[in-house]
């Protein structure tokens, strides 16, 4: 088994007790445990020094190990503070690792732990508890990795890799979430479509690689112009969409205009030509009187159509402006 998936063992026991159970514990090292660190107040009194012979995987007293991501099992018969243990496992400011997860096996009925054993527990029983806890540590690590992988896959599925904005796949779920929030807070929902003016000619002149760089800059500029609660999409090609909620007495045009102005990028490659954008915006209230009981999916489709019509009108006016539907 790869060392990455084996938890390390930290031993904080009376020297005589560690001597009694050490042989049984060391038999776990090849398959179940990673490194073993023996902590002692007096290293010269602790079995396991180099003069007595150190088994493979067992660290010398006082030598700090690098805890694996799987976690650390602490075998102890005394209390140790979390701060003290963390300092021993992560000694210096240069160690930027995430603190290891600690599982405690206590050889004292007076100490808390994930497993509490009597002081006279046979060595084989202690080793079996360590083996089972090592399996638990591995399974929990695998589950944490799986959850992280699922989050990354979801992000990849709903994000545009070029700009980092949401993509069209995320639209239905985002629309429903924003719709419900606007309905709950009695606010209006805004949908705006932005299209870069004459981007195709810029792309053809400078090449697709430079065009991709410009799109990345546009995505960053759009995020800087919006609130954290707003949603931005790469709608397709050089189109960007914005979904947000506003108070009923707040006009939507200034919000779209602020984003449009932020999207203006000076292109040094074309004699400082400014890349501008046009926008079409539409607003709807989730109030039943304004939606006439339509399904949410139908409302979303209509908002896209209305914003697209307003965008075409802005384009027909020469671009670099905002038009609202109707």
Q: Where in the sequence numbering do the catalytic residues fall?
A: 238
Residues 191 and 314 grouped into a single domain: yes
Does position 303 have pLDDT exceeding 90, yes or no?
A: yes
Residues 70 and 195 grouped into a single domain: no
Q: Using CA atoms, how far apart are residues 102 and 68, in angstroms rounded to an integer?
A: 11
**pLDDT interval class at 132 (50, 70, 90):** very high
At 261, is the secondary structure helix, strand, or coil?
Answer: helix
In this predicted model, what pLDDT tens digit does every residue of 69-91 receive, in sequence order? 678 888 998 887 767 777 766 65
Range of the domain at 86: 3-154
Q: Look up residue 175 and give its two tokens.
A: 């629309």
Contacts 24+ apart (CB under 8 A), 18-27: 18/46, 18/47, 18/48, 19/47, 20/123, 21/123, 21/126, 21/127, 22/47, 22/48, 23/123, 24/123, 24/124, 24/126, 24/127, 25/75, 25/123, 25/126, 25/127, 25/130, 26/55, 26/57, 26/58, 27/127
Return the CATH number at 296. 3.30.70.270
Residue 255 lies in a domain: yes
In this predicted model, what pLDDT tens digit does every residue of 151-175 receive, in sequence order? 989 888 999 999 999 999 999 999 9
Residues 173 and 316 grouped into a single domain: yes
Residues 60 and 116 grouped into a single domain: yes
Q: Which of 3, 12, 5 is nearest to 104 (CA)?
A: 12
Residues 29 and 144 grouped into a single domain: yes
How far CA 94 is from CA of 59, 65, 71, 90, 97, in Å, comes to: 21, 14, 20, 9, 9
pTM: 0.65
Q: Using CA atoms, how far apart are residues 308 and 280, in angstroms rounded to an integer?
A: 6
Paired residues of 232 in beta bridges: 242
For the chain, the domain total comes to: 2
Q: What percent of the chain has a predicted confidence (pLDDT) above 90?
A: 45
In this predicted model, what pLDDT tens digit does every residue of 243-260 receive, in sequence order? 999 999 999 999 999 999
Q: Using CA atoms, how far apart are residues 326 and 322, in angstroms rounded to an integer?
A: 12
Which position has the higher pLDDT, 86 or 44? 86
Does position 42 have pLDDT exceeding 80, yes or no?
A: no
């Amino acid at each position: 088994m790869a060392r990455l998936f084996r938890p390390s063992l930290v031993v904080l026991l009376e020297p005589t007790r560690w001597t009694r159970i050490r042989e049984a514990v060391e038999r776990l090292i090849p398959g179940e445990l990673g490194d073993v660190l023996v902590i002692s107040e007096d290293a010269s009194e602790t079995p396991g020094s180099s003069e007595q012979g150190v088994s493979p995987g067992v660290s010398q007293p006082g030598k700090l190990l690098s805890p694996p991501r799987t976690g650390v099992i602490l075998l102890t018969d005394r209390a140790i503070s979390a701060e003290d243990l963390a300092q021993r496992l992560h000694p210096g400011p240069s160690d930027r690792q995430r603190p290891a997860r600690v599982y405690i096996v206590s050889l004292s009925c007076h100490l808390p732990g994930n497993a509490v054993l009597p002081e006279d527990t046979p060595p084989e029983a202690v080793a079996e508890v360590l083996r089972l806890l090592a399996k638990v540590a591995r399974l929990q690590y695998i589950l944490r990795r799986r959850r992280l992988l699922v989050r990354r896959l979801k992000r990849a599925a709903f994000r545009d890799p070029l700009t980092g904005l949401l993509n069209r796949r995320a639209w239905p779920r985002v629309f429903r979430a924003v719709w419900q929030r606007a309905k709950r807070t009695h606010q209006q929902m805004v949908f705006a479509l932005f299209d870069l003016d004459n981007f195709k000619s810029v792309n053809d002149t400078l090449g697709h690689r430079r065009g991709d760089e410009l799109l990345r800059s546009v995505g960053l500029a759009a995020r800087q112009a919006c609130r954290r609660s707003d949603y931005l999409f790469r709608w397709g090609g050089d189109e960007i969409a914005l979904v947000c909620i506003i108070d009923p007495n707040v006009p939507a045009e200034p919000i779209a205009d602020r984003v449009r102005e932020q999207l203006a990028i000076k292109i040094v490659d074309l004699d400082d030509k400014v890349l501008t954008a046009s926008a079409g915006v539409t607003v709807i209230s989730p109030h039943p009187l304004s939606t006439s009981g339509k399904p949410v999916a139908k409302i979303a489709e209509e908002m896209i159509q209305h914003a697209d019509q307003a965008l075409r009108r802005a384009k027909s006016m020469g671009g670099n402006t905002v038009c609202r539907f109707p």
